Structure 1
Amino acid sequence: MSDFLVVGGGVIGMMTTLQLADAGHSVTLVERGQCGREASWAGGGIVSPLYPWRYSAPISRLSAWSEGRYPELALRLLEETGVDPEYRQKGLLYLRVDDERDAMAWAREVGKPLERVSGDFLYDKEPEAVPGCADALWMPTLGSIRNPRLARALHARLADMPRVTLHEHCEVQGLREQGGRIVAVETNEGELHGDQVVVCGGAWAAEVLTTVGVELPVRPVKGQMILFKAPPGLVRRVVLMDGRYVIPRADGRVLAGSTLEETGFDKSLSESARESLWTSATGIVPALADCEVEHHWAGLRPGSPDGVPFIGAVPGIDNLHVNAGHFRNGLVLAPASTRLLVDELLGREPIVDPAPYRLKGR
């Protein structure tokens, strides 16, 4: 029996496993498919909520802690695995922000560099941005990470750790409770056991917990994205306008996203979404209209009622814990939300007040 059994092999589950193994514990990680191939793979990789001043304090606290950890994590994983997660701190340009006053007030309150810049500044940074902008908002410290490569690096590191056992393509069918404890995790390959069980199942977390009568208000919310095959340097940094964004990669490719769709667990693609994303992306950077759309995909975010994740012990079951419901900010919040739960699991001083994230009372 492992010290910990983690259900769900996305970025949340893998970071949880890494931290527990770093602390000297044995960990079994169970993933219904391939680790890192659901929402963790499908997202854009911006290491900030899109409009951070529009979020509640609990999300802002986790985000602020997480942002500073990605450079160190990316360097560690590159050194240990040879896989470069491609963390890039090139800043973010906001175009056509209609609540600028709120944005600036937020920045002053949290001590975040955010400034109103001229059109000349904008076009010096992004010459191909949509013409005619007299000004923009500029956040120089914002970074992005190439999330599929982050997931690949985390997987490679875990696969090389003797304290970690990976069970991929292993579907959890239910949890078995006895005497107020989880005594087995039932899968299509038989029972697995861990002294403590942590559910990090993303959009599927609620389905796992219902097997022991726990109702978790987490639902799948589909997001579609497209990828342009662009020449290096066409887009240099993240640009956000009217709720949509473009994100450059080191090889020149540019992601554009994303939709928000309540379609259950349906991940099918639609031509209307593709056209909408193309229109938004070429509205931000018109030159993308001359670039091939190389890929179009969808992922399922773990939506929660207020976007604040559920992190902590499951009331009434001594050894069951959850970390799910990050909605659009799973990658953004992953370092902090996993550290917060691991602090709780190991009896350490928490990095932030855990009360707003607990299941009890929400």
Structure 2
Amino acid sequence: MAGSIFGKNFTITTWGESHGKGLGVVIDGCPAGLELSSDDIQAFLDRRKPGQSNITTQRKEDDKVTILSGVFEGKTTGTPISLIVENTNQKSKDYSQIASYYRPGHADFGFDMKYGFRDYRGGGRSSGRETIGRVAAGAIASKILNQLGITLLCYTKSIGGIYIDYDNFDEDYISQNKLYMPDRDAFFKADEYLAKCMEKKDSAGGLIECVIEGMPAGIGEPVFDKLDAQLAKAIFSIGSVKGFEIGDGFDVVSSTGSYNNDEFCIINGEISKKTNHAGGILGGMSDSSPIVFRAAIKPTPSIASKQHTITCDGEEIEISINGRHDPIIVPRAVVVVESMAAITILDLLLENMHARLDSIEDFYMR
């Protein structure tokens, strides 16, 4: 299978299946000398692990990470870092019937057409558990970014048409509720909405927003490797993402140049902008404003209500999907979106180190 490698300078290769012995990631290009422990990585994995509330799959996995290589005496060595999370609570028999038909909204049909064979146990490589490797790598990327003064804040902006109110924005509340919403009132409304969805054996989608602060200007390559293009690729590579926008996003279609253009000014002696409709990226490069983007997450396709589909032999049937599934993907996807953004930003920061001769001279002749 091609396509399991992401990045050019900070490179990650994820591996494993949802019902195999384990999943993990190999990270190449991490600088030597970073203080790193399994606790640093575990903090990120704990944000996406199952069984945390009634709106996540009840699969009981601790998702404990083990560092296999690339770290010695608490610091990265500059060699590939290999991480593994073992699967301990697979129930493959729950999926045995799925082998005979294609689930609506899933990758089953595509896998059969591409390979003539598929791992039907929870979706194999197309399962949400594949994101374990991304999140583990994202924890390392985020730690490096934090040391450079770059921070990422990711949260749920909406669920089922219920949006947060920025006047009620409470950053601390994000980690205090199971939906990762920064608005207490919106959380209670969304939680009530999800309860009704679950009563109907249905699922819901939502919107994740990410704000990246502390970015220097000029990060991103201005043609094919634009910062916004690379972020879009990274976020769209996450299963269940069906939409992506930066800054004002799709609202620009009804805007005007006089409103949409961010006028430059001087604030505290620094070049800045009066507004940030562009979301911190101009011409494919960061402009030092906060980078703001959003990812639209579709409703969980595995639902217990009746659906129409066909068997692998072409017979039309009615199905109800049982097993342990999230009624909404959004809350557990928040840290996945954050992780892929961190990996992308770090990769382009490293790429930018050879963009100017004076930077190279600075490094080698100081």
TM-score (normalizing by structure 2):
0.29
TM-score (normalizing by structure 1):
0.29
| Higher RCO (CA-CA < 8 Å; seq separation 6+) | 1
Larger radius of gyration between Structure 1 and Structure 2: 2
